């Protein structure tokens, strides 16, 4: 049978004192450290989530601005191309008009020279005919 004597009571009291001191000096600080660490981890996780959402927001803004700039560049390129085509068409029309005018002037000049040459030939032919007639008449007479 188990007998309860004073040593057993002292050991139980001793155990309770060690348990109380151990709890105050070891277990409570460890629990506090674990709780603090858990709070810090939770805080860091929430901050990381916040930063991820900010990064996602900035990424979306960047992509929107990039698409906008890309569209503006395409529009500008089209505008410049259209302006260049219009300018080329204007220059072509101007050169064509100038060439048509020069061609028309050249035709008029040729026609004028042709008429002058005809008139000169007609005059020369008449003069020659008169000379021939004069020579023939001069020989006959």
DSSP string, the chain: -----HHHHHHHHHHHHHHHHHIIIIIHHHHHHHHHHHHHHHHHHHHHHHHHHHHHHHHHHHHHHHHHHHHHHHHHHHHHHHHHHHHHHHHHHHHHHHHHHHHHHHHHHHHHHHHHHHHHHHHHHHHHHHHHHHHHHHHH-
Residue 42 belongs to domain spanning: 7-111
Lookup: tokens for 9: 């009571």
In a domain, 76, yes or no: yes
The string of pLDDT tens digits covering residues 68-96 is 999 999 999 999 999 999 999 999 999 99
pLDDT at position 39 is 96
Q: Specify if 132 maps to a domain.
A: no
pLDDT of residue 126: 84
Whether this model's pTM surpasses 0.75:
no
pLDDT at 9 over 60: yes
Query: Model confidence at 54, in pLDDT bands (50, 70, 90)?
Result: very high
Report if residue 53 sits inside a domain: yes
pLDDT tens for residues 79-138?
999 999 999 999 999 999 999 999 999 999 999 999 999 888 888 888 888 888 888 887
In a domain, 83, yes or no: yes
pLDDT at 2 over 70: no
128 lies in some domain: no
How many structural domains does the chain have?
1
């Amino acid at each position: 049978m188990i007998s309860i004597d004073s040593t057993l009571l002292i050991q139980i009291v001793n155990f309770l004192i060690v348990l109380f001191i151990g709890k105050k000096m070891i277990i409570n600080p460890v629990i506090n450290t674990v709780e603090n660490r858990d709070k810090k981890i939770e805080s860091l996780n929430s901050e990381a989530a916040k930063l991820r959402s900010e990064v996602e927001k900035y990424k979306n803004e960047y992509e929107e601005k990039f698409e906008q700039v890309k569209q503006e560049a395409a529009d500008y390129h089209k505008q410049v191309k259209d302006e260049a085509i219009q300018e080329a068409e204007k220059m072509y029309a101007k050169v064509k008009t100038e060439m048509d005018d020069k061609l028309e002037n050249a035709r008029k000049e040729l026609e004028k020279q042709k008429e002058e040459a005809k008139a000169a030939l007609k005059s020369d032919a008449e003069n020659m005919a008169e000379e021939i007639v004069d020579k023939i008449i001069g020989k006959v007479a």
